[in-house]
Amino acid sequence: SQQGEEDPQALSIQEGENATMNCSYKTSINNLQWYRQNSGRGLVHLILIRSNEREKHSGRLRVTLDTSKKSSSLLITASRAADTASYFCATDAWDTGRRALTFGSGTRLQVQP
């Protein structure tokens, strides 16, 4: 079963605009990770944020985590056509005995050149 729901399911923006994707999850976590997937290929790890962190940056990526609301957001600034992909959040809750990543349903991002 999927832990999280992502919102929106699909997003279309122009190059240069910012893209924001949201992820909600149901149970307590140790960390939350964001992955990108290009057209049915493998997943590429983008960023990991731990449960005791509130915000993290990596290049054009900014991730926030609100454990009280069980939600996270991924912001991609100054988007490029190459950012077109599906983006997934995944939660990790290893100290509860659940050792597998649980993925959200994904957001399909289309960046128009």
Please report, as ranges, the residues that interact with other proteins according to CB under 8 A.
1-2, 30-31, 33, 35, 40-45, 48, 88, 90, 92, 94-95, 98-106
Shortest distance, position 56 Cβ to other proteins, whole Å: 13
Contact (CB, 8 A) for 15 and 113: yes
Contact (CB, 8 A) for 22 and 104: no
Shortest distance, position 91 Cβ to other proteins, whole Å: 11
Cβ nearer to other proteins, comparing 4 with 71: 4
Cβ neighbors of 63 (< 8 A, separation 6 or more) are 32, 34, 47, 49, 55, 56, 57, 72, 73, 74, 75
Shortest distance, position 35 Cβ to other proteins, whole Å: 8
Cβ nearer to other proteins, comparing 20 with 30: 30
14-27 residues labelled b (16+ CB within 10 A) or e (exposed): eeeeebbbbbbbee
Cβ nearer to other proteins, comparing 48 with 75: 48
Distance CA 102, CA 41 (A): 18
Shortest distance, position 33 Cβ to other proteins, whole Å: 7
Cβ nearer to other proteins, comparing 69 with 99: 99
